[in-house]
Amino acid sequence: MITSINNYERIPGQWLTIETLHAPQLLPQLQKPTIIKYASQNPQKGSRWIVTLQHANESSGLYACVDTWKYLNEKDISLDYDLYFLIMNGYGAIGKENSAIFSQRFTSDQIDFNRIWYDYKDNIQKKIPAIQKTQIEQLTQIINNSNPEYIIDVHNTTGNNQPLGFISEGKDEQLICFLVDHIVHSNNIPGSLQDRFAHICESITIECGKTGTLASLHVATKIFHQFIHYKGQKKEDEKRYYRYNDIGRIVIKDNIEFNFYNGQKQKKEDNTFWIREDIEDFNQSQIEPFSLLGHYNGPGLPVIFLKNDQDLTSSYILKDGNKVIIKEMRYGLLFSKNKTNVQNSELGYLAQGKFS
């Protein structure tokens, strides 16, 4: 049978000699979604899965995999469950269409992997490239057959942020509290891996920090180690945790030109939406009521605010002269100055916060 994925029953020997920072050398061998199993000699529990590189520009998890494989092998770690690594989109990461390595979320012949984890027995209307659909179906079958207990899906942001975990509303916090201090409770994104497996096992998404930084590589490696050795510990002192809910996103309207200005410099008097340059400082901190988002001389607002796809712009954003302002006290999440990312997805999120 020709398979559309790679499935290794053990970590390939040559992969264990690659230095962590040379992880991209593996990309030619990761052109299909790739499962690497680290088998237990005596499995007593359901399996655990570490999934990464669903977004081909978010590389920390791949480096952390290479580092973790060496750790497991050198220390001869024995586990009472089967551990699986799944590296999704080496195809998109390798640098196609004259783009650099780790520069795009997916290629022009793909769609976003983290929006297509559907059960295709249901009648899914979305147009999905045949190869990706087959890949998702094969992966889902293998994950389900492994009797999964925990799945973590490790991502990066394009802006600066501290490690952040996403969990479905109402789900048990035990594992997520063991891995991160900042916890977002939100509705699952339809078609996300987290959504697909939330009813089958504990399924969480982690944003480990800004892509391409050593800091986020360290975070990802630490989280992998904690996850591998997690034994259902109770969470530590409540004081450490920051919780967010009721999240919505600020999206820049189509056809609006935007840029980031330095507040010290003269602002341009044109129809560009000039966004404050320190926007990433909003991340995981309190935004005071009537905080400035940016300046816009054009008609109306240059942004919309969406919560569960509902347009709530008038409740959250206002314009005073040419100032675009956030009305309510909120916490910022995942704000980014990466123009492509802002254009394709959102400028950032606003949430309610509770810091215990």
Residues in contact with Zn ion by the rule CB under 5 A:
55, 58, 155
Identify which of residues 155 and 276 has a Cβ nearer to Zn ion in the complex.
Answer: 155
Residue among 115 and 319 whose Cβ is closer to Zn ion: 115
Is 29 in a helix, a strand, or coil?
helix
Residue 65 backbone phi and psi in degrees, to 5: -60, -50
Q: Which structure tokens are listed for 205?
A: 């998404």
> CA angle 36-42-44, nearest 5°?
95
Q: How far is the CB of 270 from Zn ion (least distance, A)?
A: 33
Query: Smallest distance, Å, CB 156 to Zn ion?
Result: 7
What is the spatial distance between Cα 159 and Cα 99, in angstroms, rounded to a whole number? 20
> In whole angstroms, how large is the CA radius of gyration of the chain?
21
Q: Given the complex with Zn ion, which of 61 and 294 has the nearer CB atom?
A: 61
Closer residue to Zn ion in complex, CB, 82/153? 153
Task: Tell me whether residue 146 or residue 284 sits nearer to Zn ion (CB atom).
Answer: 284
CB of 56 to Zn ion, least distance (A): 9
Within 10 Å of residue 258's Cβ, how many Cβ atoms?
A: 18
Classify the C-alpha dihedral 238-178-345-217 as positive or negative: positive
DSSP string, 259-272: EEE-TTSPPP-SSS
Give the integer Cα–Cα distance in Å for 336 and 161.
9
Which residue's CB is nearer to Zn ion, number 112 or number 173? 112
CA neighbor of 47 nearest in space, from 179, 119, 142? 142
Least distance (Å) between residue 155 CB and Zn ion: 3
Helix (H, G, I), strand (E, B) or coil at 216: helix
Three-state SS for 328? Answer: coil
Residue closer to Zn ion by CB (options 26, 88) is 88
The contacts of residue 91 (CB under 8 Å, 6+ apart) are 30, 31, 32, 56, 107, 110
Of 48 and 155, CB closest to Zn ion = 155
**CB of residue 344 to Zn ion, shortest distance in Å:** 12
Q: How far is the CB of 55 from Zn ion (least distance, A)?
A: 4
C-alpha count within 13 angstroms, C-beta hemisphere, residue 78: 4
Q: Which residue is nearest to Zn ion (CB)?
A: 155
Q: How many CB atoms lie within 10 A of CB 189?
A: 15
Which amino acid, 118?
Y
To the nearest whole angstrom, how small is the minimum distance from the Cβ of residue 205 to Zn ion?
A: 8
CB of 319 to Zn ion, least distance (A): 31
